[in-house]
Amino acid sequence: MIDNNLSPYKSHILEYGFSVINAVFSNEEIEKINHILQGIDTSKENFRKSEDLFAIRQFLKEVPEIKDLIFNDHLKRIVKEVFGEQYFVVKSIYFDKPETSNWYVAYHQDLTISVDKKLELPNFGPWTTKQNQFAVQPPLDILENIYTIRIHLDDTDENNGALKVIPKSHAKGIYRPETIDWTVETEEICNVEKGGIMMMKPLTLHGSNRTTNGRKRRVIHIEFSDKELPEVLQWSERMS
């Protein structure tokens, strides 16, 4: 059961760029989510499959029947009280890092948003296109406003790819990983229990190590914003 008072989590994410809340989902809810995931047709083009990673982009669009399970009362309350009344979904991905995965992710910030088309707009760019999906680096104020929730379907620690983060790095604008000054920065590992969530600001420098304990790590990654995009550009996965 999550705490009645969410304000400590809110102040932690604002100051440090991340926060962990365990017991957001019951074991029964996780089992129901897993049941839907096991029945998915994995051959679709939005699905990426390799030995080290299975991923579904536009996850909530591709697997709409999972939405009601994900947005349980706890999660809805967290979005409202920690992020704000006006926040809506702008991106969703499902990651499955298998037991034998050598998938290693170097320190980085999440600097792009998913949009519905490519347009020449001031302060938007560079652009990338993957499988007819458009991503762009928006102005800093849009990135600073986004919150990410990572729902953990497995117990996750430093031995099976828990995220490592650099606290407070989200407050330093665009921060190139190669310029990290380890004499002033520290690293923190974000262990999350099965059924828990990690919340993060996308500008928080984060990465993850290879799996070494033979245990899988499955995560549902959802991003939220309360900002509309300029002119005729739309968030590609906008969902209230």
- pLDDT above 90: residue 101: no
Distance CA 64, CA 33 (A): 12
Section 83-93 average pLDDT: 97
pLDDT attached to residue 161? 86
Proportion of the chain above pLDDT 70, given as a percent: 100
Section 97-102 average pLDDT: 80
pTM for the full model?
A: 0.95
pLDDT attached to residue 103? 77
Section 203-209 average pLDDT: 96
* Greater model confidence, 9 or 101: 9
Distance of CA 63 to the CA centre of its chain: 17
User: Rounded mean pLDDT of the chain?
Assistant: 93
- pLDDT above 70: residue 68: yes
Distance CA 180, CA 213 (A): 28
Torsion of CA 50, 166, 107, 121, to 10 degrees: 100
pLDDT attached to residue 200? 98
- pLDDT above 70: residue 1: no
- pLDDT above 80: residue 90: yes
Section 83-102 average pLDDT: 91
Quick: pLDDT tens for 4-50. Answer: 899 999 999 999 999 999 999 999 999 999 999 998 887 777 788 87
CATH of domain 7-109+139-225: 2.60.120.620
Question: Is residue 118 within 8 Å of 125, Cβ to Cβ?
Answer: no
Question: Is residue 113 within 8 Å of 191, Cβ to Cβ?
Answer: no
pLDDT attached to residue 222? 98
- pLDDT above 80: residue 211: yes
Quick: pLDDT tens for 131-173. Answer: 778 999 999 999 999 999 999 999 999 998 899 999 999 999 9
Distance CA 60, CA 67 (A): 6
Q: Which residues contact 1 (CB under 8 A, 6 or more apart)?
A: 23
Proportion of the chain above pLDDT 90, given as a percent: 80
pLDDT attached to residue 9? 97
Peptide bond into 126 cis (omega under 30): yes
pLDDT attached to residue 49? 81
Distance CA 174, CA 171 (A): 9
Distance CA 206, CA 83 (A): 20
